[in-house]
Structure formats: C-alpha cells, structure tokens
Amino acid sequence: MSVLVRRSALTLAAPPNQSTLQSKCSRIVCKPTKAYALPNFQMVCNVALIGVGLVGSSVVSQLSSPSLAKIFKIISLSNSKHTLSLSPSSPSLPAAQLLSLLPSSSQPLPTTCSHPGATYSPAVPSTLIKDFAAAARQSKTSTILIDCTSDLSVTELYPIAISSGLSVVTPNKKGFSSSNQLWEKILEAQQAPGAGLVYLEATVGAGLPIISTLRDLVKTGDEVTKIEGVLSGTLSYIFNEFSKPGGSGGKGQKFSEIVKIAKANGYTEPHPADDLSGSDVARKLTILSRLLSASPSSLPSLPALPEGYASLSTETLIPAALANIATGEEFVAKLPEFDGEFDKLNAEAEAAGEVLRYVGVIERETGTVKCGLQRYPSAHPFASSLSGSDNIIAFHTARYSTRPLIVQGAGAGADVTAMGVVADAIKVAERTGVRVHL
C-alpha cells in the first residue's frame, strides 16, 4: 500500500447560469457529434529490478506471465556485481530465458549479449537510478524500481529515486525501519514535483494485505487502538510446534530440536540467532508504528523510534552465553544446553491453560511498541488458529472493538512475497495511467 502519497487538489469550475446552460445544450443537440477522444493512457510500465535472488526471480516470473507481460516491460536486472540492461523496444523474453542472460555475481562481466538490445555494465545502483530517471523523463513512461535486496545502501537511494520520478516497490524492510532520518527523507522525497509512488506491502506480511488493511482503516477515519500479531514465520513455526494448545505434559519436542529442524528445512536464516533475536519482528513493528503515527489521531502519540527498530523494546530468545557464537552450526549444537529454561516457560504456560507466542504489540493508549514472548489462552486465535509458519495479525479499532479484524496466512516464502511485490507494481501501473485488464 502506498505511503503518504501526496494527493492533488481537484478544483471545480463554478456552474454556469441556467440560460447559458440551455444555450450550450441547444448547440450540442444541433451540431453533428464527433468521436469521443479517449484519455491518453500509457500502454506499458517499465521495470528495473535490483536483487535477483529467490524473491527477485519469482517477481520476474510473475511479471512475465501472459496477463502481465503486456503491461510491464523489464528494462534492467541487477545482482550485486552485474547489470543487464534491455532496450524498451527489444522483444520480450520468457522469464527463464531473461534470467539466464544475467550472469551470477561470481562470474566475470560479459562484453556482449546474443539478445538484441541487451548490454552489460557493472552494478552501480546510484548510477542506474540516475539513468532510469533521465530515460523516464525523456520517454514520459512510468518506471518502477523494484528492490528485492536486503541491502540498506540501496534503500538509502530511495529519496533520490522517488524525487526523480521513479516509483519504488520493495519487500526490503531496512529503508522503512532504520533511522528516523532516512524515514523522513523518504517522506520528504514524495513531496517533490513529479515524485514517484512508494509501495511496501511485502515488507511486513509478504503477500498478506497487512499494510493495505492498516491504511484503509485509518484513511476511512477508524481509530486503531492496538495492533498485535505473530509477524515472523520462523518464530511462528517454532512456537506452534513447541507450545501447543492443551499442552504436551512435558513430552513434546525440545526447543533446540525444533530450531534444528527449522534450520534444516530452510525456515530459519543460516544462523538461527538472526531469527531468535527478534529483530525481524522489530523491523516490521517499526514500519507499522510509523505508518500508524503518520495519520492524525486523538489517541496518545507513539514513540518516535529515532533509531528505528533498534529503539524498540525487543526480547531476545538467544541465551546470553550463545550471543557471540559465530556460526549457525555451532549455535544449534550448543542450544540444547538451555532447553531447561524454555521448558520452564512452557510448563508455566501449560499450567495456566495457555501457550507461548512471540508477538509484536503496538498499543496507542499506553504508547507501547514492543515485541517478545507472550502467553495466550488456548482458545485465543493466536493459539488455536495458527499452524506451520503462518503469520497472524489483529487490528483492534473503534469499529472492530468487540472482535478484532484478523489477517492470517503464509507470511514468508519467495512466491507469496513476490506476489505482494507484483500486486504493488500493478497498483503503481494503474495509478500512473496504464490500463490494467486482469
């Protein structure tokens, strides 16, 4: 969902008087009719994509689908070392063939390409953005910069890109959850004449409509009093397995065993401590808090979060003795030494008929923005409705006061994240004048 995009004022001319209106109507009736001129819609939207990993590759595949290939023209693909540039007039290619033209970052930069209109250059994002902006102004074609990296340095270029007329669509959380200084620059860039749009749905819930739901609530005048949710697919899986409704009587899997399985199945980062630190949840919570704070409200203000996610109260699940373990393998090998601590927490929750969940919470009345372990009754949706690595988020509002508005589903994975990115790209295309028929 777009972030604080400036809306142009619509000025209506004063209505003509009755006699003038009747005279004009008479002339319209008497004169031969002329063909109605349709608005000057764009036919295509250019896309420059940085970061061609699992999510980026899936974005390319989805943009190349039959329903979207006529709407989006991919003009550039970049990894950490190389950029493949394609002339907007060159023929489009199937996703697999297009991706095959970009060599991996470990390979040398090619000097020629068999595809007509394709060239190679070193990947320098700042130069690419300036070139894309200049080309967009010259061709008067909407251009979307899709950032599928997790690189902070790329997000630091967003203000330049946006103020130059490029729209930004991204699942990269870092630009919106780091320092308040960068956040403010991104907001200010949207005030520039001809500024591009910004869509970041996939930063919080992958393909889940979390940011768009929040925006719809506040823009229609609802008061959001509290947001709480399981926002990490990894931590969702771990605690869905470790702390189940009804309990296990101490006979369930150990915490360390579940983390080991999660790592083996690719649910965690290569170093599980990156997930157990809670930083991913803190970044997502920072984004939601900033978006919520940007809308007028009669409720108390939320914390300013000057250092972004680092300003949050974040409970880490990393045992202190393992805080400086360098490798994921060593971390998993030593984690069983601390199973007793997690067993104790789980037993206390079971005795109260509750489960453990790692959640993020924003509460307007108390000005609270925090993430950590919380206990929920076994009948609570966070306990009974979750399975696997699902995310779930509850919006408590003035309208949804009796029962919260709940969004639930897969919150991770390349294909669903790419879906969130592509859906945002479609919104940009529609808002910049491309006719989208799906």
- Return the active site residues: 284
CA 393 – CA 408 distance, rounded (Å): 7
Q: What residues does 381 pair with on adjacent strands?
A: none
CA 252 – CA 330 distance, rounded (Å): 24
Residues 6 or more apart whose Cβ sits within 8 Å of residue 9: none
Show the tokens assigned to 79.
């990894």
Q: What is the dihedral of CA 272, 276, 280, 282, to 10 degrees?
A: -160
The residue written with tokens 């969702």 in the block is: 236
Show the tokens assigned to 362.
């924003």
Local structure of 348: helix, strand or coil: helix
CA 387 – CA 239 distance, rounded (Å): 10
Query: What are the backbone angles phi and psi of residue 141, rounded to the nearest 5°?
Result: -110, 135
Residues 6 or more apart whose Cβ sits within 8 Å of residue 265: none
CA 139 – CA 153 distance, rounded (Å): 28
Sheet containing 354-363: which strands, arranged edge to edge? 313-314, 368-377, 354-363, 224-230, 390-397, 405-410
Show the tokens assigned to 17.
């008087």
Listing DSSP states for 267-283 in one string gives: -S-SSTHHHHT-HHHHH
CA 11 – CA 133 distance, rounded (Å): 30
- What is the identity of the amino acid at 18? Q
Q: Residue 409 belongs to what H/E stretch?
A: strand 405-410
CA 59 – CA 52 distance, rounded (Å): 9
Asked if 284 and 204 touch (Cβ cutoff 8 Å), the reply is: yes
Show the tokens assigned to 328.
């994921």
Asked if 365 and 299 touch (Cβ cutoff 8 Å), the reply is: yes
The residue written with tokens 């005030």 in the block is: 191
Angle at Cα 130 formed by Cα 124 and Cα 134, nearest 5°? 140
Burial (CB count <10 Å: 0-12, 13-18, 19+), residue 372? middle
